[in-house]
Protein backbone atom coordinates (compact mmCIF):
# COMPACT_ATOMS: atom_id res chain seq x y z
CA UNK A 1 0.00 0.00 0.00
CA UNK A 2 2.43 2.55 -1.24
CA UNK A 3 -0.03 5.38 -0.85
CA UNK A 4 0.11 4.94 2.89
CA UNK A 5 3.80 4.41 3.33
CA UNK A 6 5.35 6.33 6.15
CA UNK A 7 7.45 9.05 4.65
CA UNK A 8 9.01 12.10 6.13
CA UNK A 9 6.29 14.69 6.25
CA UNK A 10 4.94 17.48 8.33
CA UNK A 11 1.60 18.69 9.53
CA UNK A 12 0.87 20.29 6.15
CA UNK A 13 0.56 16.93 4.37
CA UNK A 14 -3.08 16.47 3.24
CA UNK A 15 -5.13 13.47 4.29
CA UNK A 16 -4.69 11.13 1.30
CA UNK A 17 -7.15 8.52 0.08
CA UNK A 18 -4.83 5.82 1.36
CA UNK A 19 -4.65 7.38 4.79
CA UNK A 20 -8.41 7.76 4.93
CA UNK A 21 -8.83 4.08 4.06
CA UNK A 22 -6.44 3.00 6.82
CA UNK A 23 -8.13 5.20 9.41
CA UNK A 24 -11.66 4.27 8.35
CA UNK A 25 -11.03 0.53 8.18
CA UNK A 26 -9.16 0.38 11.49
CA UNK A 27 -11.64 2.64 13.26
CA UNK A 28 -14.81 1.01 11.94
CA UNK A 29 -13.69 -2.47 12.91
CA UNK A 30 -12.77 -1.21 16.36
CA UNK A 31 -16.14 0.54 16.75
CA UNK A 32 -17.86 -2.80 16.19
CA UNK A 33 -15.58 -4.50 18.68
CA UNK A 34 -16.28 -1.90 21.37
CA UNK A 35 -20.00 -2.19 20.56
CA UNK A 36 -19.77 -5.89 21.37
CA UNK A 37 -17.89 -5.27 24.58
CA UNK A 38 -20.09 -2.49 25.93
CA UNK A 39 -23.42 -4.14 25.32
CA UNK A 40 -22.82 -6.02 28.54
CA UNK A 41 -22.14 -2.87 30.55
CA UNK A 42 -25.21 -1.12 29.19
CA UNK A 43 -27.42 -4.11 30.04
CA UNK A 44 -25.83 -5.00 33.39
CA UNK A 45 -29.08 -4.67 35.37
CA UNK A 46 -30.98 -6.99 33.00
CA UNK A 47 -28.10 -9.47 32.89
CA UNK A 48 -28.07 -9.53 36.69
CA UNK A 49 -31.68 -10.71 36.65
CA UNK A 50 -31.16 -13.19 33.80
CA UNK A 51 -27.96 -14.89 34.95
CA UNK A 52 -27.62 -14.18 38.67
CA UNK A 53 -31.21 -14.58 39.82
CA UNK A 54 -30.09 -17.12 42.43
CA UNK A 55 -28.52 -14.31 44.47
CA UNK A 56 -30.14 -11.54 46.50
CA UNK A 57 -30.82 -8.37 44.49
CA UNK A 58 -27.89 -6.32 45.79
CA UNK A 59 -25.35 -9.13 45.37
CA UNK A 60 -26.76 -9.98 41.94
CA UNK A 61 -26.14 -6.48 40.63
CA UNK A 62 -22.66 -6.24 42.14
CA UNK A 63 -21.80 -9.71 40.83
CA UNK A 64 -23.04 -8.69 37.38
CA UNK A 65 -20.67 -5.72 37.57
CA UNK A 66 -17.87 -8.09 38.57
CA UNK A 67 -18.63 -10.24 35.53
CA UNK A 68 -18.40 -7.04 33.48
CA UNK A 69 -15.08 -6.28 35.16
CA UNK A 70 -13.86 -9.85 34.50
CA UNK A 71 -13.61 -8.95 30.83
CA UNK A 72 -11.38 -6.05 31.82
CA UNK A 73 -9.34 -8.15 34.24
CA UNK A 74 -7.99 -10.41 31.48
CA UNK A 75 -7.32 -7.63 28.98
CA UNK A 76 -3.66 -7.34 30.03
CA UNK A 77 -3.20 -11.05 29.32
CA UNK A 78 -4.72 -10.52 25.88
CA UNK A 79 -2.27 -7.65 25.44
CA UNK A 80 0.63 -9.99 26.20
CA UNK A 81 -0.57 -12.79 23.93
CA UNK A 82 -1.64 -10.71 20.95
CA UNK A 83 0.96 -7.96 21.46
CA UNK A 84 3.72 -10.55 21.15
CA UNK A 85 2.01 -12.03 18.11
CA UNK A 86 1.67 -8.59 16.53
CA UNK A 87 5.36 -7.81 16.99
CA UNK A 88 6.36 -11.21 15.60
CA UNK A 89 4.05 -11.78 12.61
CA UNK A 90 2.43 -8.38 11.97
CA UNK A 91 -0.30 -5.96 12.98
CA UNK A 92 -2.92 -6.80 10.33
CA UNK A 93 -3.38 -10.52 10.92
CA UNK A 94 -3.30 -10.17 14.68
CA UNK A 95 -6.27 -7.85 14.88
CA UNK A 96 -8.15 -10.01 12.38
CA UNK A 97 -7.93 -12.81 14.94
CA UNK A 98 -9.05 -10.57 17.79
CA UNK A 99 -12.18 -9.32 16.03
CA UNK A 100 -13.31 -12.87 15.15
CA UNK A 101 -12.85 -13.94 18.77
CA UNK A 102 -14.78 -10.92 20.04
CA UNK A 103 -17.67 -11.27 17.60
CA UNK A 104 -18.17 -14.98 18.24
CA UNK A 105 -18.12 -14.54 22.04
CA UNK A 106 -20.68 -11.75 21.89
CA UNK A 107 -23.03 -13.72 19.64
CA UNK A 108 -22.93 -16.64 22.09
CA UNK A 109 -24.02 -14.35 24.96
CA UNK A 110 -27.17 -13.69 22.91
CA UNK A 111 -28.07 -17.40 22.77
CA UNK A 112 -26.95 -18.39 26.29
CA UNK A 113 -29.79 -19.87 28.42
CA UNK A 114 -30.62 -18.03 31.65
CA UNK A 115 -30.08 -19.09 35.26
CA UNK A 116 -33.68 -20.27 35.48
CA UNK A 117 -33.10 -22.60 32.53
CA UNK A 118 -29.72 -24.20 33.25
CA UNK A 119 -28.86 -23.07 36.78
CA UNK A 120 -25.34 -22.19 37.85
CA UNK A 121 -23.92 -23.16 34.44
CA UNK A 122 -25.41 -19.93 33.04
CA UNK A 123 -23.27 -17.46 35.02
CA UNK A 124 -20.22 -19.72 34.65
CA UNK A 125 -20.51 -19.76 30.84
CA UNK A 126 -21.31 -16.04 30.80
CA UNK A 127 -18.13 -15.22 32.70
CA UNK A 128 -16.13 -17.52 30.39
CA UNK A 129 -17.44 -15.59 27.37
CA UNK A 130 -16.62 -12.30 29.09
CA UNK A 131 -13.07 -13.56 29.59
CA UNK A 132 -12.77 -14.38 25.89
CA UNK A 133 -14.07 -10.90 25.04
CA UNK A 134 -11.48 -9.36 27.34
CA UNK A 135 -8.65 -11.36 25.80
CA UNK A 136 -9.71 -10.28 22.32
CA UNK A 137 -10.01 -6.62 23.28
CA UNK A 138 -6.59 -6.83 24.93
CA UNK A 139 -5.09 -7.48 21.52
CA UNK A 140 -7.36 -5.21 19.50
CA UNK A 141 -6.59 -1.69 20.66
CA UNK A 142 -2.81 -1.87 20.52
CA UNK A 143 -2.96 -3.31 17.03
CA UNK A 144 -5.33 -0.68 15.67
CA UNK A 145 -3.50 2.24 17.31
CA UNK A 146 -0.07 1.00 16.24
CA UNK A 147 -1.27 0.29 12.71
CA UNK A 148 -2.71 3.78 12.21
CA UNK A 149 0.25 5.53 13.88
CA UNK A 150 2.74 3.70 11.69
CA UNK A 151 0.92 4.96 8.60
CA UNK A 152 0.62 8.56 9.82
CA UNK A 153 2.88 11.37 8.53
CA UNK A 154 5.10 13.12 11.04
CA UNK A 155 3.29 15.96 12.75
CA UNK A 156 -0.17 14.39 12.35
CA UNK A 157 -0.01 11.27 14.54
CA UNK A 158 -2.15 12.84 17.25
CA UNK A 159 -4.84 13.67 14.71
CA UNK A 160 -4.73 10.29 12.95
CA UNK A 161 -4.80 8.17 16.10
CA UNK A 162 -7.53 10.32 17.64
CA UNK A 163 -9.96 8.68 15.21
CA UNK A 164 -9.14 5.35 16.89
CA UNK A 165 -9.85 7.05 20.23
CA UNK A 166 -13.39 7.87 19.14
CA UNK A 167 -14.16 4.20 18.58
CA UNK A 168 -14.73 3.28 22.22
CA UNK A 169 -17.28 6.07 22.65
CA UNK A 170 -18.84 5.43 19.24
CA UNK A 171 -19.13 1.74 20.10
CA UNK A 172 -20.89 2.64 23.34
CA UNK A 173 -23.05 5.14 21.45
CA UNK A 174 -23.99 2.51 18.87
CA UNK A 175 -24.90 0.02 21.59
CA UNK A 176 -27.09 2.63 23.31
CA UNK A 177 -28.85 3.48 20.05
CA UNK A 178 -29.62 -0.18 19.34
CA UNK A 179 -30.88 -0.71 22.90
CA UNK A 180 -33.02 2.43 22.89
CA UNK A 181 -34.43 1.63 19.46
CA UNK A 182 -35.43 -1.87 20.52
CA UNK A 183 -36.95 -0.61 23.76
CA UNK A 184 -39.04 1.91 21.85
CA UNK A 185 -40.10 -0.70 19.30
CA UNK A 186 -41.04 -3.65 21.53
CA UNK A 187 -41.59 -1.92 24.89
CA UNK A 188 -39.58 -2.16 28.11
CA UNK A 189 -41.30 -5.31 29.39
CA UNK A 190 -40.74 -7.34 26.22
CA UNK A 191 -37.20 -6.02 25.85
CA UNK A 192 -36.18 -7.04 29.37
CA UNK A 193 -37.83 -10.44 29.02
CA UNK A 194 -36.56 -11.50 25.59
CA UNK A 195 -35.43 -8.82 23.17
CA UNK A 196 -32.36 -7.80 25.18
CA UNK A 197 -30.65 -10.68 23.33
CA UNK A 198 -31.09 -9.06 19.90
CA UNK A 199 -28.20 -6.54 20.21
CA UNK A 200 -25.85 -9.43 21.00
CA UNK A 201 -27.13 -11.45 18.04
CA UNK A 202 -26.54 -8.49 15.71
CA UNK A 203 -22.82 -8.86 16.38
CA UNK A 204 -22.76 -11.69 13.82
CA UNK A 205 -23.60 -9.16 11.10
CA UNK A 206 -21.10 -6.65 12.42
CA UNK A 207 -18.45 -9.37 12.58
CA UNK A 208 -18.88 -10.19 8.90
CA UNK A 209 -18.59 -6.53 7.91
CA UNK A 210 -15.52 -5.97 10.10
CA UNK A 211 -13.65 -9.00 8.80
CA UNK A 212 -14.36 -8.04 5.19
CA UNK A 213 -13.11 -4.51 5.78
CA UNK A 214 -9.91 -5.58 7.48
CA UNK A 215 -9.08 -8.10 4.78
CA UNK A 216 -8.74 -5.14 2.42
CA UNK A 217 -5.82 -3.69 4.40
CA UNK A 218 -2.11 -4.18 3.80
CA UNK A 219 0.50 -4.60 6.54
CA UNK A 220 1.99 -1.57 8.33
CA UNK A 221 4.80 -0.04 6.21
CA UNK A 222 7.12 0.37 9.19
CA UNK A 223 6.63 -3.27 10.17
CA UNK A 224 7.25 -4.44 6.58
CA UNK A 225 10.42 -2.34 6.39
CA UNK A 226 11.65 -3.63 9.74
CA UNK A 227 10.94 -7.22 8.69
CA UNK A 228 12.73 -6.77 5.38
CA UNK A 229 15.78 -5.41 7.20
CA UNK A 230 15.77 -8.28 9.71
CA UNK A 231 15.30 -6.00 12.73
CA UNK A 232 12.33 -7.80 14.27
CA UNK A 233 12.40 -8.62 17.94
CA UNK A 234 12.99 -12.29 18.66
CA UNK A 235 11.61 -11.97 22.20
CA UNK A 236 9.11 -9.07 22.46
CA UNK A 237 8.05 -9.91 26.01
CA UNK A 238 11.60 -9.98 27.36
CA UNK A 239 12.60 -6.82 25.52
CA UNK A 240 9.44 -5.00 26.58
CA UNK A 241 9.33 -5.81 30.27
CA UNK A 242 12.67 -7.22 31.41
CA UNK A 243 14.98 -4.53 30.14
CA UNK A 244 15.28 -0.75 30.52
CA UNK A 245 12.04 -0.51 28.58
CA UNK A 246 10.20 -2.07 31.55
CA UNK A 247 10.63 1.16 33.53
CA UNK A 248 8.92 3.12 30.75
CA UNK A 249 6.07 0.59 30.70
CA UNK A 250 5.52 1.06 34.45
CA UNK A 251 5.63 4.84 34.20
CA UNK A 252 3.22 4.76 31.26
CA UNK A 253 0.80 2.79 33.43
CA UNK A 254 0.96 4.96 36.55
CA UNK A 255 1.61 8.30 34.86
CA UNK A 256 -0.72 8.05 31.87
CA UNK A 257 -3.21 5.20 31.42
CA UNK A 258 -4.38 4.69 35.03
CA UNK A 259 -5.68 8.24 35.35
CA UNK A 260 -6.96 8.27 31.78
CA UNK A 261 -8.89 5.08 32.50
CA UNK A 262 -10.70 6.22 35.65
CA UNK A 263 -11.66 9.52 34.02
CA UNK A 264 -12.97 7.58 31.00
CA UNK A 265 -15.07 5.12 32.99
CA UNK A 266 -16.27 7.66 35.53
CA UNK A 267 -17.41 10.01 32.78
CA UNK A 268 -19.42 7.38 30.94
CA UNK A 269 -20.18 4.13 32.74
CA UNK A 270 -20.20 5.33 36.32
CA UNK A 271 -22.26 8.36 35.33
CA UNK A 272 -24.86 6.01 33.79
CA UNK A 273 -24.89 3.73 36.82
CA UNK A 274 -25.18 6.75 39.11
CA UNK A 275 -28.24 8.00 37.25
CA UNK A 276 -30.05 4.66 37.12
CA UNK A 277 -29.04 3.01 40.40
CA UNK A 278 -28.45 5.86 42.87
CA UNK A 279 -30.84 8.48 41.49
CA UNK A 280 -33.51 6.07 40.17
CA UNK A 281 -33.77 7.76 36.78
CA UNK A 282 -35.52 5.41 34.35
CA UNK A 283 -33.16 3.57 32.02
CA UNK A 284 -34.50 5.08 28.79
CA UNK A 285 -34.13 8.67 29.98
CA UNK A 286 -30.67 8.03 31.42
CA UNK A 287 -29.45 6.36 28.23
CA UNK A 288 -30.85 9.14 26.05
CA UNK A 289 -29.14 11.80 28.15
CA UNK A 290 -25.82 9.97 28.01
CA UNK A 291 -26.21 9.37 24.27
CA UNK A 292 -26.80 13.10 23.82
CA UNK A 293 -23.67 13.94 25.81
CA UNK A 294 -21.64 11.48 23.75
CA UNK A 295 -22.95 12.96 20.52
CA UNK A 296 -21.94 16.46 21.63
CA UNK A 297 -18.61 15.43 23.11
CA UNK A 298 -17.25 12.90 20.63
CA UNK A 299 -15.84 15.45 18.11
CA UNK A 300 -13.57 16.69 20.89
CA UNK A 301 -11.54 13.48 20.65
CA UNK A 302 -10.43 14.75 17.26
CA UNK A 303 -9.99 18.31 18.55
CA UNK A 304 -7.67 17.25 21.38
CA UNK A 305 -5.81 14.78 19.16
CA UNK A 306 -5.20 17.59 16.67
CA UNK A 307 -4.24 19.99 19.47
CA UNK A 308 -1.73 17.47 20.85
CA UNK A 309 0.17 17.69 17.54
CA UNK A 310 0.68 21.37 18.29
CA UNK A 311 1.17 21.72 22.04
CA UNK A 312 1.97 18.17 23.11
CA UNK A 313 0.17 15.08 24.41
CA UNK A 314 1.27 15.30 28.03
CA UNK A 315 -0.12 18.75 28.83
CA UNK A 316 -3.62 17.89 27.64
CA UNK A 317 -3.85 14.54 29.43
CA UNK A 318 -2.52 15.92 32.71
CA UNK A 319 -4.95 18.85 32.54
CA UNK A 320 -7.89 16.49 31.96
CA UNK A 321 -6.98 14.31 34.95
CA UNK A 322 -6.54 17.33 37.21
CA UNK A 323 -9.79 18.99 36.17
CA UNK A 324 -11.69 15.76 36.76
CA UNK A 325 -10.20 15.24 40.22
CA UNK A 326 -11.00 18.81 41.28
CA UNK A 327 -14.58 18.91 40.00
CA UNK A 328 -16.09 15.42 40.35
CA UNK A 329 -17.75 16.09 43.71
CA UNK A 330 -19.52 19.31 42.67
CA UNK A 331 -20.47 17.83 39.28
CA UNK A 332 -22.06 14.68 40.71
CA UNK A 333 -23.82 16.67 43.44
CA UNK A 334 -25.19 18.89 40.70
CA UNK A 335 -26.38 15.84 38.75
CA UNK A 336 -28.31 14.76 41.85
CA UNK A 337 -29.76 18.25 42.19
CA UNK A 338 -31.04 18.35 38.62
CA UNK A 339 -31.88 14.66 38.04
CA UNK A 340 -33.65 13.81 41.29
CA UNK A 341 -33.99 16.88 43.51
CA UNK A 342 -36.42 15.04 45.78
CA UNK A 343 -33.58 12.88 47.15
CA UNK A 344 -31.48 15.95 47.85
CA UNK A 345 -34.36 17.81 49.48
CA UNK A 346 -35.54 14.87 51.56
CA UNK A 347 -32.06 14.00 52.82
CA UNK A 348 -31.54 17.62 53.85
CA UNK A 349 -34.92 18.00 55.55
CA UNK A 350 -35.38 14.46 56.90
CA UNK A 351 -31.92 12.80 57.13
CA UNK A 352 -31.89 9.04 57.60
CA UNK A 353 -29.74 7.69 60.44
CA UNK A 354 -29.34 4.07 61.49
CA UNK A 355 -28.63 3.76 65.21
CA UNK A 356 -26.88 0.46 65.86
CA UNK A 357 -23.82 -1.17 67.38
CA UNK A 358 -21.22 -0.97 64.57
CA UNK A 359 -20.06 -4.50 65.36
CA UNK A 360 -23.47 -5.79 64.25
CA UNK A 361 -23.29 -4.06 60.84
CA UNK A 362 -21.70 -6.11 58.06
CA UNK A 363 -20.08 -5.14 54.78
CA UNK A 364 -22.81 -6.65 52.64
CA UNK A 365 -20.91 -7.93 49.66
CA UNK A 366 -21.55 -11.61 49.03
CA UNK A 367 -20.66 -12.51 45.41
CA UNK A 368 -21.65 -16.16 45.75
CA UNK A 369 -24.96 -15.54 47.50
CA UNK A 370 -24.31 -17.99 50.33
CA UNK A 371 -23.87 -15.73 53.33
CA UNK A 372 -26.98 -14.60 55.19
CA UNK A 373 -27.16 -11.08 56.62
CA UNK A 374 -29.70 -11.47 59.39
CA UNK A 375 -28.80 -8.91 62.07
CA UNK A 376 -31.11 -5.93 62.51
CA UNK A 377 -28.49 -3.44 61.26
CA UNK A 378 -27.95 -5.46 58.10
CA UNK A 379 -31.68 -5.73 57.41
CA UNK A 380 -32.04 -1.96 57.82
CA UNK A 381 -29.07 -0.92 55.66
CA UNK A 382 -29.96 -3.46 52.94
CA UNK A 383 -33.47 -2.01 52.70
CA UNK A 384 -32.11 1.55 52.51
CA UNK A 385 -29.50 0.66 49.87
CA UNK A 386 -32.14 -1.06 47.75
CA UNK A 387 -34.33 2.04 48.03
CA UNK A 388 -31.46 4.30 46.90
CA UNK A 389 -31.68 6.38 50.08
CA UNK A 390 -28.54 8.03 51.49
CA UNK A 391 -28.00 7.32 55.16
CA UNK A 392 -25.45 7.35 57.95
CA UNK A 393 -24.84 4.84 60.71
CA UNK A 394 -24.56 6.28 64.20
CA UNK A 395 -22.86 4.16 66.81
CA UNK A 396 -25.02 2.84 69.61
CA UNK A 397 -22.64 0.46 71.44
CA UNK A 398 -24.15 -2.45 73.31
CA UNK A 399 -27.39 -2.39 71.31
CA UNK A 400 -28.53 -5.67 69.79
CA UNK A 401 -31.11 -4.16 67.46
CA UNK A 402 -31.16 -1.18 65.14
CA UNK A 403 -33.47 1.77 64.79
CA UNK A 404 -33.84 3.75 61.58
CA UNK A 405 -34.52 7.43 62.19
CA UNK A 406 -36.25 9.08 59.22
CA UNK A 407 -36.22 12.62 60.47
CA UNK A 408 -38.18 12.46 63.72
CA UNK A 409 -39.84 9.14 62.84
CA UNK A 410 -38.33 5.98 64.32
CA UNK A 411 -38.66 2.60 62.59
CA UNK A 412 -37.25 -0.31 64.62
CA UNK A 413 -35.47 -2.86 62.43
CA UNK A 414 -35.84 -6.62 62.84
CA UNK A 415 -33.45 -9.51 63.39
CA UNK A 416 -34.29 -12.48 61.14
CA UNK A 417 -31.66 -14.87 62.44
CA UNK A 418 -32.88 -18.37 63.28
CA UNK A 419 -35.89 -18.16 60.96
CA UNK A 420 -36.40 -20.29 57.89
CA UNK A 421 -36.01 -18.57 54.52
CA UNK A 422 -39.70 -17.92 53.96
CA UNK A 423 -40.27 -16.52 57.45
CA UNK A 424 -37.11 -14.39 57.28
CA UNK A 425 -38.15 -12.97 53.94
CA UNK A 426 -41.65 -12.20 55.20
CA UNK A 427 -40.40 -10.49 58.34
CA UNK A 428 -37.77 -8.44 56.50
CA UNK A 429 -40.40 -7.57 53.87
CA UNK A 430 -42.80 -6.32 56.52
CA UNK A 431 -40.06 -4.09 57.94
CA UNK A 432 -39.18 -2.82 54.45
CA UNK A 433 -42.83 -1.94 53.87
CA UNK A 434 -43.04 0.03 57.11
CA UNK A 435 -39.74 1.76 56.31
CA UNK A 436 -40.88 2.60 52.79
CA UNK A 437 -44.03 4.25 54.11
CA UNK A 438 -41.93 6.39 56.43
CA UNK A 439 -39.56 7.31 53.62
CA UNK A 440 -42.38 8.25 51.26
CA UNK A 441 -43.97 10.34 53.99
CA UNK A 442 -40.62 12.11 54.45
CA UNK A 443 -40.39 12.87 50.72
CA UNK A 444 -38.01 10.15 49.50
CA UNK A 445 -39.12 9.03 46.02
CA UNK A 446 -39.29 5.45 44.72
CA UNK A 447 -38.19 6.74 41.33
CA UNK A 448 -37.05 10.03 39.90
CA UNK A 449 -40.05 12.12 38.90
CA UNK A 450 -39.76 12.61 35.09
CA UNK A 451 -41.42 16.00 35.39
CA UNK A 452 -38.75 17.21 37.82
CA UNK A 453 -35.71 16.05 35.84
CA UNK A 454 -34.01 19.13 34.42
CA UNK A 455 -32.86 17.39 31.25
CA UNK A 456 -30.90 20.30 29.71
CA UNK A 457 -28.85 20.74 32.89
CA UNK A 458 -28.23 17.01 33.30
CA UNK A 459 -27.19 16.85 29.64
CA UNK A 460 -24.80 19.77 30.19
CA UNK A 461 -23.22 18.13 33.23
CA UNK A 462 -22.83 14.80 31.46
CA UNK A 463 -21.25 16.63 28.52
CA UNK A 464 -18.67 18.19 30.83
CA UNK A 465 -17.79 14.70 32.06
CA UNK A 466 -17.46 13.52 28.45
CA UNK A 467 -15.23 16.50 27.58
CA UNK A 468 -12.86 15.38 30.36
CA UNK A 469 -12.90 11.94 28.73
CA UNK A 470 -11.91 13.40 25.37
CA UNK A 471 -9.05 15.37 26.93
CA UNK A 472 -7.42 12.32 28.49
CA UNK A 473 -8.30 9.80 25.79
CA UNK A 474 -7.89 11.73 22.54
CA UNK A 475 -4.07 12.04 22.70
CA UNK A 476 -3.27 8.84 24.66
CA UNK A 477 -2.68 6.53 21.67
CA UNK A 478 -0.15 8.86 20.07
CA UNK A 479 1.64 9.30 23.41
CA UNK A 480 1.88 5.55 24.01
CA UNK A 481 2.95 4.73 20.45
CA UNK A 482 5.73 7.33 20.59
CA UNK A 483 7.10 6.05 23.91
CA UNK A 484 8.22 2.69 22.45
CA UNK A 485 10.35 1.45 19.49
CA UNK A 486 8.80 -0.25 16.46
CA UNK A 487 10.27 -3.70 17.19
CA UNK A 488 8.33 -4.01 20.47
CA UNK A 489 5.72 -1.26 20.12
CA UNK A 490 2.59 -3.48 19.93
CA UNK A 491 3.57 -5.42 23.08
CA UNK A 492 4.95 -2.50 25.07
CA UNK A 493 2.07 -0.08 24.58
CA UNK A 494 -0.68 -2.71 24.92
CA UNK A 495 0.16 -3.84 28.45
CA UNK A 496 0.08 -0.48 30.28
CA UNK A 497 -2.98 0.55 28.30
CA UNK A 498 -4.93 -2.56 29.23
CA UNK A 499 -3.80 -2.75 32.85
CA UNK A 500 -4.80 0.89 33.19
CA UNK A 501 -8.12 0.53 31.41
CA UNK A 502 -8.80 -3.10 32.27
CA UNK A 503 -7.96 -2.96 35.97
CA UNK A 504 -7.91 0.64 37.18
CA UNK A 505 -10.83 1.59 34.94
CA UNK A 506 -12.75 -1.65 34.55
CA UNK A 507 -13.13 -2.20 38.28
CA UNK A 508 -14.27 1.37 38.93
CA UNK A 509 -18.04 0.70 38.93
CA UNK A 510 -17.69 -2.28 41.28
CA UNK A 511 -15.35 -0.52 43.70
CA UNK A 512 -17.33 2.72 43.66
CA UNK A 513 -20.70 1.08 44.26
CA UNK A 514 -19.31 -1.13 47.03
CA UNK A 515 -18.01 2.01 48.76
CA UNK A 516 -21.40 3.68 48.40
CA UNK A 517 -23.25 0.64 49.75
CA UNK A 518 -20.87 0.39 52.72
CA UNK A 519 -21.12 4.05 53.70
CA UNK A 520 -24.62 5.07 52.64
CA UNK A 521 -23.05 8.16 51.00
CA UNK A 522 -24.00 8.56 47.34
CA UNK A 523 -20.67 10.22 46.54
CA UNK A 524 -18.27 8.02 48.49
CA UNK A 525 -17.32 6.05 45.38
CA UNK A 526 -15.83 9.16 43.75
CA UNK A 527 -12.79 8.99 46.00
CA UNK A 528 -11.46 6.10 43.93
CA UNK A 529 -11.25 7.88 40.53
CA UNK A 530 -10.11 11.09 42.19
CA UNK A 531 -7.22 9.36 43.96
CA UNK A 532 -6.06 7.52 40.84
CA UNK A 533 -6.31 10.63 38.65
CA UNK A 534 -4.22 12.66 41.10
CA UNK A 535 -1.59 9.89 41.21
CA UNK A 536 -1.34 10.06 37.42
CA UNK A 537 -0.95 13.83 37.45
CA UNK A 538 2.01 13.57 39.84
CA UNK A 539 3.76 10.60 38.19
CA UNK A 540 3.12 11.72 34.62
CA UNK A 541 4.18 15.31 35.21
CA UNK A 542 7.42 14.36 36.96
CA UNK A 543 8.64 11.26 35.14
CA UNK A 544 7.18 10.89 31.64
CA UNK A 545 8.56 12.81 28.64
CA UNK A 546 6.68 14.77 26.04
CA UNK A 547 6.90 12.78 22.80
CA UNK A 548 5.40 15.12 20.19
CA UNK A 549 7.75 15.18 17.20
CA UNK A 550 9.40 11.80 17.86
CA UNK A 551 10.37 9.96 14.66
CA UNK A 552 8.88 6.44 14.74
CA UNK A 553 11.51 5.20 12.31
CA UNK A 554 14.30 5.75 14.83
What value does the mean pLDDT of the chain take? 83
Q: Please, what is the angle between helix 121-149 and helix 489-499, to 10°? A: 130
* Residue 43 reports pLDDT greater than 70: yes
CA dihedral 258, 466, 471, 249 (to 10 degrees): 20
CA dihedral 207, 466, 298, 503 (to 10 degrees): -30
Burial class (CB in 10 A: 0-12, 13-18, 19+), 456: exposed
| Confidence tier at 19 by pLDDT (50, 70, 90) | low
Strand 352-356, strand 392-395: pairing: parallel
pLDDT confidence of residue 260: 96
Q: What CA–CA distance (Å, rounded) separates 465 from 268?
A: 8
Q: What CA–CA distance (Å, rounded) separates 475 from 160?
A: 10
Whether residue 18 contacts residue 1, with contact meaning beta carbons closer than 8 Å, is answered with yes
In terms of average pLDDT, the best of 100-109, 229-238, 318-327, 407-416 is: 318-327
Burial class (CB in 10 A: 0-12, 13-18, 19+), 362: middle
Angle, alpha carbons 9-11-15 (nearest 5°): 85
- Lowest mean pLDDT across 117-121, 241-245, 370-374, 444-448: 370-374
Phi, psi (5° rounding) for residue 353?
A: -130, 130
Task: Look at residues 128, 130, 55 and name the one whose alpha carbon lies nearest to residue 365.
Answer: 55
Burial class (CB in 10 A: 0-12, 13-18, 19+), 100: middle
In this prediction the pTM is: 0.81
The HSE-up count of residue 304 (CA atoms within 13 Å, CB side) is 30
Q: What is the pLDDT of residues 526-550, one digit of tens each?
A: 999 999 999 999 999 999 999 888 8
Beta partners for 406? 352, 409
Domains of the chain: 17-340+451-543 (1.20.1250.20), 349-434 (no CATH)
Phi, psi (5° rounding) for residue 259?
A: -65, -40
* Residue 99 reports pLDDT greater than 90: no
Whether residue 309 contacts residue 155, with contact meaning beta carbons closer than 8 Å, is answered with yes
Q: What CA–CA distance (Å, rounded) separates 402 from 107?
A: 48
Q: What share of the chain is helix, strand, coil (3-state, %, to 5)?
A: 75, 5, 25
Q: What is the pLDDT of residues 100-133, one digit of tens each?
A: 888 888 889 889 898 888 887 888 888 888 888 8
Q: What CA–CA distance (Å, rounded) separates 388 from 487?
A: 52
Amino acid sequence: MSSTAATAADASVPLSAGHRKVIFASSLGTVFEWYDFYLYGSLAAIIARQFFSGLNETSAFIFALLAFAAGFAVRPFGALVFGRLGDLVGRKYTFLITIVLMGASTFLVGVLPSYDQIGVAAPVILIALRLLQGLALGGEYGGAATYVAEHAPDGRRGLYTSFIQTTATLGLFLSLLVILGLRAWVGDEAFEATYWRVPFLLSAVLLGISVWIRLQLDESPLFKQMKAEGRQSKAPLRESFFSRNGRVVLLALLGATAGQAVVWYCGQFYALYFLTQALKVDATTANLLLAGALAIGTPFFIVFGWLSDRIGRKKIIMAGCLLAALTYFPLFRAITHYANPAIEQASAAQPVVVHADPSTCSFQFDPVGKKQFTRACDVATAALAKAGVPYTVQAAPGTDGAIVHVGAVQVPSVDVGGLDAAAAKARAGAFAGTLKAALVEAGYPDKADPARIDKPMVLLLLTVLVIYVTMVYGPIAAWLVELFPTRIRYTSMSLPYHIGNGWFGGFLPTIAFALVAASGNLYQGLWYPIGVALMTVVVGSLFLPETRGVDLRD
